[in-house]
Amino acid sequence: MNLTRRSLLASASALAVMPKFALGNEDTEVLEARPGAVSLVSDEFPATEVWTYNGEVPGPEIRVAQGARIKRRLVNSLEQPTTIHWHGVRIENAMDGVPGVTQDAVQPGGEFFYDFEVPDAGTYWYHSHFNTTEQISRGLYGALIVEEPNPPEVDHDITVVVDDWRLGQDAQIDPDFSQIHDWSHAGRLGNFLKATLTPALAEVKQNQRLRLRFICVATDRVMQVAMTGMQGKVVALDGMPLAVPTPAGVLTLGPAQRADVIVDVTGEPGGEAVIGFVGREGNITLASLAITGQASLASRGDIPVLRQNPIKQLDPLNGAKIAELKMEGGAMGSLKQGIYKGEMMSIDKLIENQQIWTFNGVAGMPDAPLAEVALGETLRIPIINDTAFAHALHLHGMHFQEVMPDGSFGPLRDTILLLRQERREIAFTASNPGDWVFHCHMLSHQKSGMITWVKVTA
């Protein structure tokens, strides 16, 4: 029999929906971390060897209703340990996926059963939390979409995963994940930017309404994303709806940050709607959608406001606990010494241990938490970025709000981008018991020192 390309594709997709490995819990879907190859650049280049969930990069999109339970059996078919972190989800601590803190790393050939509820609607993602600079750079991430009970009316609801790959001329991943120059500067930046749209979308019509869920999965790069031929508003950040949507101009997405935008296609039929990366050396097209006609004569009117998630926002900060976080180190920094694994070391000795950055003078995970708070207690964290680089700080388990200089509070977020030498303050009311890591999501920085934790006692 002559297999046409079409029938081959059909059988490949039939395989993709086939269940589940016989692992004792046959009802549980599997996420298998395993090596694979995908066409990343174009058909003219060889396939790129990657690490995948179930053979895909991004991994299979998980899309569930608000309040649903997600159950996945992680099977580790890599040659090194791994775990999965469910980024931005208000999750039970034991399911948070941090090796050495909330679970043991899953060894090669091993497995772990994740089972948790998703209380909040929004755009989240899942990714490896072990050896993350390498594992996320090689492709171990996927989108996690939690749908509202009454979602806003749109013609297309599209997840846009934006990544930054470092590839050689043969389209293979640069295997050097331990360059001290990367770590001490802005991190391991790539040379090939790619946006993956799910479902794949190639054509739109004028006056159609799109919901675009942007997820920046780059290990270290801050993405500036612009849209042309489309106009609308940012309706949510890091999964959480904005009380007042803001115009969708150029979006700044630090590593791990998300933005939901609702836009109407305003470009003329025959033209295109473009999602682009705004860079110093010019703009790069990440996705281009042909505008093939007109859906209606007029645009659809006001952009809706999404319903807030059931999270208590900050009250006045009277009586809050305060724990300052000072970031130091890196190239052009003044760091002379720091504590690593309980020992005071000179900067040279720190570098020998591949540590370059400190939080409050400590490189790497400290024995004592940055702060210990009781459930219901409010914690303020003034953050001082005394370094020459930007950092994207991510708190696990709970969203926080920025405390603005005028005392007002910013929107709920799980990752905050601080530019060089910036001082900002965040605060949150502890609502989720457990040990929660708080780290730079520029993963080269995390690996070389920038991680601490917060303890919430029940």
Residues that bind Cu ion (CB under 5 A): 391, 440, 442, 445
CB of 349 to Cu ion, least distance (A): 21
Residue for token pair 């007002």: 408
Report the residue number, 110 or 382, with the smaller CB distance to Cu ion.
382
Nearer to Cu ion, 138 or 445 (CB): 445
Rounded Cα–Cα distance for residues 229 and 272 (Å): 7
- Minimum distance of Cu ion from residue 137's CB (angstroms): 16
Is-contact 285 274, C-beta < 8 A? Answer: yes
Question: Least separation, in Å, of the C-beta of 136 and Cu ion?
Answer: 15
Going by C-beta distance under 8 Å and a sequence separation of 6 or more, which residues neighbour residue 116? 69, 70, 86, 89, 91, 92, 95
- In sequence order, what are the residues at sequence separation of 6 or more whose Cβ sits closer than 8 angstroms to the Cβ of residue 187? 219, 220, 221, 442, 443, 444, 445
Give, in order, the Cα–Cα distances in Å from 264 to each of 62, 152, 232, 243, 399: 26, 13, 6, 20, 29
The distance of closest approach from Cβ of residue 357 to Cu ion in the complex, given in angstroms and rounded to an integer, is 7
Nearest to 395 by CA among 354, 360, 430, 357: 430
Nearer of residues 217 and 440 to Cu ion, judged by Cβ: 440
CA contacts within 13 A on the Cβ side of 44: 1
Single-letter residue type at 242? L
- Which of 222, 227 has the CB closer to Cu ion? 222
Among candidates 144, 152, 99, 151, which has minimal Cα distance to 118? 144
The sheet with strand 122-128 has its strands ordered as: 59-65, 141-147, 122-128, 84-87
Looking at beta carbons only, is 230 or 416 nearer to Cu ion? Answer: 416
Q: How far is the CB of 367 from Cu ion (least distance, A)?
A: 22
User: C-beta of 332: minimal distance to Cu ion in Å?
Assistant: 14
Rounded-to-integer distance, Cα 113 and Cα 31, Å: 10
The least CB distance from residue 133 to Cu ion, in Å, is 12
Owner of token pair 């997600």: 70
For residues 90 and 391, which CB has a smaller minimum distance to Cu ion in the complex? 391
Nearer to Cu ion, 392 or 412 (CB): 392
- Cβ atoms of 58 and 196 closer than 8 Å: yes
Q: Minimum distance from CB of 188 to Cu ion (Å)?
A: 12
Nearest to 234 by CA among 413, 425, 395: 413
The single residue listed with the structure tokens 């939390």 is: 129
Indicate if the alpha-carbon torsion angle 206, 209, 215, 216 is positive or negative.
positive
Closest CB to Cu ion among residues 261, 356: 356
Distance separating the N- and C-terminal Cα atoms of the chain: 64
Nearer to Cu ion, 128 or 358 (CB): 358
By C-alpha distance, which of 214, 302, 228, 210 is closest to 264?
Answer: 210
Beta carbon nearer to Cu ion, 184 or 432:
184
CB of 414 to Cu ion, least distance (A): 15
Give residue 226's identity as a one-letter amino acid code.
A
Q: Please tell me the distance from the alpha carbon of residue 164 to that of residue 24, in angstroms, as a whole number.
A: 38
Write down the least CB distance from residue 17 to Cu ion, Å: 39
Among all chains, which residue has been given the structure tokens 């508003």? 233
For residue 40, the minimal CB distance to Cu ion (Å) is 26
Nearer to Cu ion, 395 or 442 (CB): 442
